[in-house]
Amino acid sequence: VKAMKEEMAGAPRGVEVFDRDASSVCLRWEAPAEGPVTSYAVQLRRASSSEEFVTLSQSISARSVRKKKLESGVVYEWRVGSVVEEEVRAWSEPVLAGPTDPHETHQMEAPRIAEYDGESATVHWLPETTMTGARAPAPYALQIFEDERWKLASDRLQGDRVMKHKLRAGETYYFRVRPVDAAHFEWSRASEGITIPPRATALATLLGDRLLKGDKTLDTANALAGKLVAVYASASW
């Protein structure tokens, strides 16, 4: 039965471009619907050519890969395969993608996560573009990667940071940004991923439901999520 399931391993699903810049492309995909896989294989070649596919790797354990040192402005054809015991059992449908062309499009720097807790994250970005240093004008649009796809979080941001609420513990999130009204702007590279820690309910029981931080009152379980807290006991008589 196990051997039959391995033979039935299907192709990876939902292969898509996660992000890209002037020299690299990052792909992500979902596991196949049928059968377990040992690893994944990724191949590419120049689009609309008679070249053979070139294998980047056949031992990728994650469901994403970034290929660097690509030729700017060139479109490549990609496919992802399911590997079982060192043999590719099925290939995905090809996807066309290439690096951005810095002569035709601009990008902002990838946003950074200033801080996060048990249900929110503060996302910060620089308005300068990556190649020329020119200022990207406000307003800005922000996307969040959740549930395996990019979603619009905000589209008329005037400043250089925003706090995103209602994030789920245990989930990993990414963010990207671009100016709304400026022409020829690509979405930025994705931020580093953050995994929201579980609420610190034990500390909330010990310290109370609310914490004071300056003139703000914070939810203890969220504010202390994922943080090391030293508690000192003292006695006097």
| Per-position DSSP letters for 43-111, written without gaps between them | EEEETTS-PPPEEEEEEE-SSEEEE-SPPTT--EEEEEEEEETTEEEEEPPPEEE----TTT-B-BPPP
Mean pLDDT of the chain: 88
Q: What is the DSSP letter of 128?
A: B
- Below-70 pLDDT ranges, the chain: 1-8, 203-204, 206, 211, 218, 228-237
Instruction: Classify each residue of 101-134 as buried b or exposed e, where b means 16 or more C-beta atoms within 10 Å of its C-beta.
Output: ebeeebbbbbbebeebbbbbbebbbbbebbeeee
Please tell me the predicted confidence (pLDDT) of residue 157: 96
Please tell me the predicted confidence (pLDDT) of residue 218: 67
Please tell me the predicted confidence (pLDDT) of residue 124: 97
Please tell me the predicted confidence (pLDDT) of residue 1: 42
Q: What is the pTM of this model?
A: 0.82
